[in-house]
Homo-oligomer: A and B are copies of this chain.
Amino acid sequence: MNKVTSTTLITPQIIAFEEPFTLQNGSVLPRFELIIETYGELNADKSNAVLICHALSGTHHVAGRHRPDDKHAGWWDNMVGSGKPIDTDKFFVIGLNNLGGCAGSTGPLSQNPKTGKDYGADFPLVTVKDWVRSQAKLADYFGIKTWAAVVGGSLGGMQALQWSIDFPERVRHALVIASSPRLSTQNIAFNDVARQAILTDPDFHEGHYTRFGTKPRRGLRIARMMGHITYLAEQGLGDKFGRKMREDAYKYNYDIEFEVESYLRYQGDKFADRFDANTYLLMTKALDYFDPVAEYGGSLQAALAHTTTHFFVASFSSDWRFSPKRSQELVKALIGAGKNVQYIEVESQHGHDAFLMEDKPYLDGVRAYMNNIKVSK
């Protein structure tokens, strides 16, 4: 068996789906590709497959490294690997970049077969439901009839939840972490500010910026800086930076004075370099649109009535973007619908980002749940 560690070299694969794919909004993609990574081995009856769904800015690169000199391992390397909470010695784990993404799956940066140029703003808006259907095609490709588990944090958790509603027979366990059954008004509001920052950037060119050899860096940077604050808890941010200054005295200008400013600008710059603006826009819309409650006449319990999936739900005390209250709504609806659910609320100072962090009680909670999932040898 190949052990997967933080230094294991992983090679992504691209899976092509050559049939037309109709999206929720009616648009048709003539074909699409998903870039994925896999960890561990699929067992004979294919009962040990786990799908990892990413959040707004995530990718298929969940664990291990691409090159020996990579500075960082995959984004959930503390969660996925040999002997880790999602143990690749037991499970066959797939990470993918979602449709519409900018890490290698078909998205705004891909070539539009109709024009021969990249899609840009012409790439259709995709929804969580679309992602789940595209992920079902991925399962088909591997001959996986039923996932042992679909796992995700934040927007990833929404996908896990949608799986349990749209394809309950194809997912035995859904792990819905730091997520919400629908966005709050405040969340929608923050998303709209982020989008407006990008849409009004003069370098946006109505989404066709690549044709102009440019990129709405300013807007993307502002969106990320703002977003980043909301992913962290006030207390955690305060503990880390306080009012620490770069120099002893105030400079009385708009350069960096406080360390937190330096940190945030760095985060914004880094993100603006690596991420595509159209993907950012469509990811935030997917968040806004996600609403199984509305689809089932305003009742989350009704949305979940037919599911046979078992649930693990986790929230973090200082997460104010997807607060424990939102997870509790989901848990209550699941209990009300008579479903099988485990819930942990983790004490944490890390806000929404806690779901990505090294935190023993949290990781142990996931580990215990995953250990109890039965798979054939």
Instruction: Please state if A185 and B265 are interface contacts (CB–CB under 8 Å).
Output: no
Selected from B189, B201, B234, B260, the residue in CB contact (under 8 A) with A261 is: B189
Please tell me if A193 contacts chain B, counting CB pairs below 8 Å: yes
Also in contact, A185 and B226, with CB within 8 A (given A192-B260, A264-B193): no
A222 — which chain B residues lie within 8 A by C-beta? 193, 196-197, 200, 222
**Interface readout for A217-261 with B: 1 if CB under 8 Å, 0 if not?**
010011001100100101001101111000000101110011011
Q: How far is the CB of A185 from chain B (nearest CB, A)?
A: 4
Which residues in A have some Cβ–Cβ distance to B below 8 Å? 25, 124-125, 182-186, 188-190, 192-193, 195-197, 199-202, 218, 221-222, 225-226, 229, 232, 234, 237-238, 240-243, 250, 252-254, 257-258, 260-261, 264-265, 268, 281, 285, 288-289, 291, 294, 320
Which of A192, A202, A237 has the most chain B CB atoms inside 10 A of its CB?
Answer: A192
A-B contact pairs, 7 of them (CB 8 A): A184-B238, A185-B243, A188-B258, A188-B261, A192-B261, A202-B202, A320-B320
Instruction: Please state if B260 and A229 are interface contacts (CB–CB under 8 Å).
Output: no
A320 — which chain B residues lie within 8 A by C-beta? 234, 320
> CA of A226 to CA of B223 in the docked complex: distance in angstroms?
10
> CA of A288 to CA of B258 in the docked complex: distance in angstroms?
9
A234 — which chain B residues lie within 8 A by C-beta? 184-186, 320
Also in contact, A193 and B229, with CB within 8 A (given A243-B291, A261-B188): yes
Instruction: Please state if A237 and B189 are interface contacts (CB–CB under 8 Å).
Output: yes
Instruction: Please state if B289 and A250 are interface contacts (CB–CB under 8 Å).
Output: yes
Which of A195, A225, A289 has the most chain B CB atoms inside 10 A of its CB?
Answer: A225
A195 — which chain B residues lie within 8 A by C-beta? 254
Q: How far is the CB of A237 from chain B (nearest CB, A)?
A: 5
5 other contacts beyond A183-B243, A243-B291, with CB at 8 A cut-off?
A190-B226, A192-B265, A196-B225, A234-B320, A243-B294
Q: How far is the CB of A48 from chain B (nearest CB, A)?
A: 37
Instruction: Please state if A186 and B288 are interface contacts (CB–CB under 8 Å).
Output: no
Closest to A233 in B: B186
> CA of A182 to CA of B232 in the docked complex: distance in angstroms?
20
Q: How far is the CB of A333 from chain B (nearest CB, A)?
A: 17
A285 — which chain B residues lie within 8 A by C-beta? 252, 254
> CA of A256 to CA of B241 in the docked complex: distance in angstroms?
37
Closest to A281 in B: B254
Q: How far is the CB of A32 from chain B (nearest CB, A)?
A: 17
Q: How far is the CB of A104 from chain B (nearest CB, A)?
A: 24
Which 4 pairs across A and B sit closest by C-beta, in order of nearness?
Answer: A25-B252, A186-B234, A192-B261, A185-B238
Also in contact, A241 and B200, with CB within 8 A (given A192-B261, A193-B225): no
Q: How far is the CB of A238 from chain B (nearest CB, A)?
A: 4
Also in contact, A229 and B281, with CB within 8 A (given A222-B196, A243-B182): no
Which of A197, A232, A257 has the most chain B CB atoms inside 10 A of its CB?
Answer: A197
